[in-house]
Structure 1
Amino acid sequence: MRDGGDTTFFVVLKDRADLSGAKKQKTHAKKAEAAYRELRSHAESSQKSLNAFLDKKKAGHQGYWIANAVKVTGGQDLVNELAERPDVASVVERRSFKLDDIETSDKQVTASRAAALGTDSSADGTDAPAWGVADIKADQVWDQYQDRGEGIVIANVDSGVQYDHPDLAANYRGNNGDGTFSNDYNFYDATGTCATTAPCDNNGHGTHTMGTMVAKNGLGVAPNAKWIAAKGCTTDLCYDDELLDAGQWILAPTDHNGQNPRPDLAPNIVNNSWGGDDGTFYTDILNAWNSAGIFEAFAAGNDGNGVTCSTTHPPGSQAESYGVGAYDVNGRIGSFSGFGPSPIDGGAKPNITAPGVQIPSTWPGNSYNTINGTSMATPHVAGAVALLWSAAPSLIGDIQGTRKLLDEGARDVDDTHCGGTAEMNYVWGEGKLDILASVEKAPHTAAVVSGKATDKATGAALPNITVQSTDAAGAVRTVTTGTDGTYRLPLAAGTYSFAYSGYGYANRAVTGVTLAESQAYTRDIALTAVPSHQVSGIVRDVTGKPLPGASVELTGTPLPAVTTDANGRYTFKKVAEGSYGLAVKPAAPVLCNGVYTGTAAVGAADLTKNVQVPNRTDNSGNVCAPAAYSWIAGSKKVALTGDEDSAKISLPFSVKHYGVSYSTASVTTDGLINFLSSRVGDYNNTALPAAGVNGVKGIVAPLWDDLTLDKKSSVQTATTGTRGSRKFAIVWNNAAYANGTSGRATFEAVFDEATGGVTLQYQSVADRGAGATVGIADQSGSDALQYSFNQAVIANGTALGFTQGAK
């Protein structure tokens, strides 16, 4: 803040949630649900006073429940005031973590899996494993225990994943098994980088780490585990706020909009191959994950030189984490591997070491890459835990018990030059990961359920049938049948129900199955094919008019999406009987038309399913809708002319914007109303939301464009109505386009005292908004409701309304 400007930082509160209740829950889902409820409610109550203070200061802010921290944008004076508050533990600058150069340099990208593995054989997941997979003896676990991670869900917080990579697609939890994918609750892009809701990876790092955990054909440690992912790194940089968003999603996965959290869908394990700051900001995240029974593995870091001690970095160096160092194929410690003791607290780090030099794995573009780093070692540990928990399901969610078995199974390496003992030192930790030894030490009490799914009429094997088990406590585990129709699922002793489902077949259920310890239970299942019928209907927009060009999907079927015709009609000619998700996505420009999600139950006859899409909303509940046009002429001139300038005006009544009340606002020549800063948005408009230090925040954008006010132009205000039901208009008259576009624009924003809403009205806009941003954005830059961005969609004599949300 040396220049006296604003910056973004985090206010960490002293008060902490009590997660002891979550730890006492009996199932993974109940642990995650209890942790989420406690963290969310505690943050809401403890942040209330701070939020009120920030609102009074007109400072943009966004709260996080997983760390009880609030992201704030403000200046040095605000920082000083916050630091003096009795409820504040610390004020922390917004930081970024870099994926280390050693991990992404010297790429050895190839389209050949055999070349990456260094073998000419065609591995099928059970032979010719990568050297690291073999060194930790994962392949021996496959052979001796018939265990490849079945029923376990692994996640990573990384740069994303190529979800349809040939060696990863089958394991993606969002794979419906019929050629379609459901990304809600299975992938989240905290960075806003991916072009669609589908997982993406614009770096490669995340695809590589995921491959080491679960890839098929010899590359992954647990090739039958399922995976989900949170993109918390833009490319090679991972910012605090995006990592916090990703961390929250891991504990309570949401849809792609970050809404409707489902902690019951949290993963069992999360890999974190990033780090690097000497702070302890992530202690709360680690505690939250651990209380929910989510095993986390963190890279120890690549800041070592093979000699110097205390080179490991957070979060992998924190006492709460399980930190992982790296070694090579010859059993030598990686020259870059971070050593202990921990620079944070002097504790014993790393916890364990795993293969991390010349590690072949999956890479974007359906290719493979061989790279180095503790980032490559860490997913070996995460995958190993999947093997351990699949083989011994009584350990699922037992973080300390699992760490103990990993530690006891590790092969000791004597190197005490940084401290410790031969059994546990600050170079190797507990030693080299040996998952076979850990599995052998685990309780072998699991019953094994196996069987084959077939077509009842033909006897043909049925692949991709979902097999779901539920125990008496409600714990759910899921596997899918292989290409030969077989499945295998280890389960703790108890009473279970089993559900079998797949597209084109009637669901089957088996209840009251009691399994004894170490029992081998076979349950083959024959499924009956069901008839197909036509599904059709008309899609209408928010005004009730037919909506052409919308994409209509029947999720849970292999059918490709269809597009509505000029009359809004869609048709699926043959859909098997069953219940499916129905999703309607308007085509660009979407305007105020939201995405519809519902169900379609196909019974014994053709189904007509008409749909009206909902109004679009933002995360704060503000709603966009077409409005009745009722122009209010300006009556009082604002002293504002020229190009790239602003003027401050007083508001005749208190105006609320994203829950904060304002008595003044700044109006710019470029068609913006700013509640936080006098000058933003000069020269170039951007899409909303626009986060970051230079992002446009706390604004209403009736027509944000590069406009200029010449002698023919003016800005005026007008107030109509009586107290309690007044309307206040800010009017731009005959604004010219600075880029020379012919014609002019006359438009206004009207604030309604009674409803708290704002209506944008357009008398005449020459280019119809082709170079403008229209919408609203919150004070933190993280939430917005954008109507259009550089789209010619504004008709003369029309109006657009934004209704205040619950915030």
Structure 2
Amino acid sequence: AGHPATNPLAYAVGATDSTGVIADFSSRGPGREDAVRPDITAPGVGILSSVPGSDWGMSDGTSMAAPHVAGAVALAWSAVPNLRRDLATTRELLDRTAHDVNDLQCGGTPADNNVYGEGRLDAYDLVTQASAAQLGGVVVHAKLNGTVLSGAKITLTSALVTRTARTEARGTVQLGRVPAGEYTLTASFFARRTVRQSITVSTSGTTNLTVDLSEPAPWQAIQGRVTDPAGKPVVGARLALAGETFPAFVTDADGHYTGMLPEADYDLLVEYGRWLAPKTVALSVDGPQTVDVALAAKADRHGYQAGTATAQWVDGGSVLALTGVTPRAGPSTCRSR
């Protein structure tokens, strides 16, 4: 996948033909940091469109497919005004109503892969489910020892929805509108005990919640080893907590690292640079942890990877004296006039 489709904020659209089969020209994923791309597919072969000269003609391309998705979103927002500009819920509805296509030739899962994404667009089902969805708002206020807490990570999850955001300067975060139902709310802040609670979201207004993150979290020992594709230790690899300012761990001459972390769930970003690709590992600290990480080699767009190889000394043979060499004349002197 190329730019701008690799941007994590973009909703990328692949193209299918009139039979629903992926077009040859439609780029496959993955995208940046192995994200699944495209997000969805839509008709993009033999599409009647405007052409220069105030005329009409048939065109092919993902530029034909993307407007189908934009049009479907416009229909849904027209049918459900409360959904307008709510990008998170709109993405969830697009993903949920797309028809899955099992194609694993470029990786992924039958329900979300690097050829069809979440599947084929279904504009009718999108509008139908958007119209039937009973949406309610969720606002969370975080506090620490009675004062507002900015930067707290708030996650709302259910079988269909996952929303994650951080509280702003006033200690508040708006998670937008979500389908009414039961959810698990998780609130976390570095070195504070994570708070989890079940909440019910209704369609009658906005659910307002206050979470208290005053209780300190216990610290636990963490250790592990970072290796390259050959199983050899990686010296100087950095292991940082994504989204946190806590100092990174650094591997020693044996590829080992040790340290302490407060109990919580983290994304551990492991980086070395040079020829090894970065890797993010989900880490749940609820006791002493040993986390070993094997880094993969970077690959270019053609699939070539760097690696290590054992080289042998090759004897160049006998040293020969130089003969028949004519000395060079010295530099000439030039005058300008």
Q: TM-score, normalised by structure 1?
A: 0.25
Q: Secondary structure at the match of 1:291?
A: helix
Q: CA deviation at 1:582?
A: 2.7
**Alignment RMSD, CA only?**
4.7
In the alignment, the residues of structure 1 paired with residue 310 and residue 235 of structure 2 have an alpha-carbon distance, to the nearest angstrom, of: 23
Residue 389 of structure 1, aligned match among 85, 88, 103:
85
Shift of the alpha carbon at 1:544?
3.4
1:449 aligned residue: 138
Match of 2:149 in 1: 462
> What is the aligned counterpart of 2:265 among 550, 575, 579?
579
Aligned identity (percent) is 22
Is 1:611 the equivalent of 2:293? yes
Q: 2:207 aligned with 1:544, yes or no?
A: no
Given that residues 553 and 582 in structure 1 are in contact (C-alpha distance below 8 angstroms), is that contact kept between their aligned partners in structure 2?
yes
SS in 1 for 2:267: strand
Residue 599 (str. 1) matches residue 282 (str. 2):
yes
In the alignment, which of 11, 14, 21 is matched to residue 42 of structure 1?
21
The Cα shift of 1:541 comes to 3.1
Q: In structure 2, what is the Cα distance between the partners aligned to 1:599 and 1:576?
A: 15
Tell me if the contact between 1:551 and 1:563 (Cα under 8 Å) persists in the aligned partners. Answer: yes
User: How big is the shift at 1:549?
Assistant: 2.6
Measured against aligned partners, the alpha-carbon deviations of 1:499-530 in whole angstroms (never above 9, x if no partner) come to 2233334444444614124x242222223432
Change beyond 3 A, Cα 1:290–1:558: farther
Cα deviations across residues 392-431 of structure 1 (Å, max 9, x unaligned)? x789979xxxxxxxxxxxxxxxxxxxxxxxxxxxxxxxxx
Paired position in structure 2 for 1:495 = 181
Superimposed CA distance per residue, residues 732-766 of structure 1 (whole angstroms, 9 cap, x where no aligned partner): xxxxxxxxxxxxxxxxxxxxxxxxxxxxxxxxxxx
> Matches of 1:619 and 1:547 in 2, distance apart?
25
Q: What CA distance in whole angstroms lies between the structure 1 residues aligned with 2:149 and 2:295? A: 36
Residues 395 and 602 of structure 1, relative CA distance in 2, 3 Å threshold: closer
Contact 1:540 1:613 survives alignment (8 Å): yes
Match of 1:255 in 2: 32
The one-character-per-residue Cα deviations of 1:748-807 (angstroms, maximum 9, x if unpaired) are xxxxxxxxxxxxxxxxxxxxxxxxxxxxxxxxxxxxxxxxxxxxxxxxxxxxxxxxxxxx
1:72-113 deviation digits (Å, cap 9, x = unpaired): xxxxxxxxxxxxxxxxxxxxxxxxxxxxxxxxxxxxxxxxxx
- CA distance in 2 between counterparts of 1:489 and 1:516 reads 14
Distance 2:238 2:147 in 1: 34
Question: Are residues 462 and 613 of structure 1, via their aligned partners in 2, closer, same or farther at CA, if it must alter by over 3 Å?
Answer: same
The answer to whether the aligner puts 1:64 opposite 2:26 as a matched pair is: yes
Q: How many angstroms apart in 2 are the aligned matches of 1:540 and 1:396?
A: 38
CA gap 1:294/1:581 in 2 versus in 1, 3 angstroms: farther
SS state of the match for residue 285, structure 1? helix
Mark the CA change 1:537 to 1:618 in structure 2 (over 3 Å): closer, same or farther. same
Decide whether the 8 Å contact of 2:187 with 2:211 is kept in 1: no
Partners in 1 of 2:298 and 2:310 — Cα distance? 18
Indicate conservation of the 8 Å contact 2:135/2:180, yes or no. Answer: no
Q: Aligned AA for 2:21?
A: H
| Structure-2 change in CA distance of 1:463 and 1:600 (3 Å) | same
- The 3 A distance-change label for structure 1 pair 538 and 516 is closer
What CA distance in whole angstroms lies between the structure 1 residues aligned with 2:256 and 2:91? 52
The 5-angstrom pairing of residues 263-274 of structure 1 reads none
How far residue 534 of structure 1 moved from its aligned partner, in angstroms, is 3.5
Corresponding position of 1:485: 171
CA positional deviation for 1:603: 2.2
1:548–1:566 Cα contact (<8 Å) kept: yes
Which of 62, 71, 78 is matched with 1:284 structurally?
Answer: 62
CA distance in 1, matches of 2:67, 2:245: 35
Separation of aligned partners in 2, 1:481 and 1:549: 34
Residue 218 of structure 2 is aligned with which of 523, 527, 531?
Answer: 531
Query: Does 488-497 or 621-630 show the bigger shift?
Result: 621-630
Deviation readout 1:417-460 (Å, 9 max, x if unpaired): xxxxxxxxxxxxxxxxxxxxxxxxxxxx96443341224xx333
Cα distance in structure 2, aligned partners of 1:512 and 1:468: 12
What secondary structure does 1:491 align onto? Answer: strand
SS at match of 1:524: strand
Conservation of the 8 A alpha-carbon contact between 1:289 and 1:295: no
Of residues 601, 618, 626 in structure 1, which corresponds to 2:308? 626
Q: In structure 1, what is the Cα distance between the partners aligned to 2:252 and 2:197? A: 44
Aligned length: 243
Instruction: Compute the displacement of 1:576 (Å).
Output: 1.7
- Is residue 499–residue 507 contact of structure 1 (8 Å, CA) maintained in 2? no
The 2-side partners of 1:616 and 1:529 are apart by 40
- Does residue 1:561 correspond to 2:248, yes or no? yes
**1:485 Cα shift?**
1.7
5+ long unaligned stretches in structure 1: 1-31, 48-62, 66-247, 267-276, 297-384, 399-444, 633-711, 713-807
* 1:540–1:546 contact (8 Å) kept in structure 2: yes
The offset of 1:548, in angstroms, is 2.0
Q: Is the 8 A contact 1:549 1:568 kept in 2?
A: yes
Deviation at 1:602, TM superposition (A): 2.0
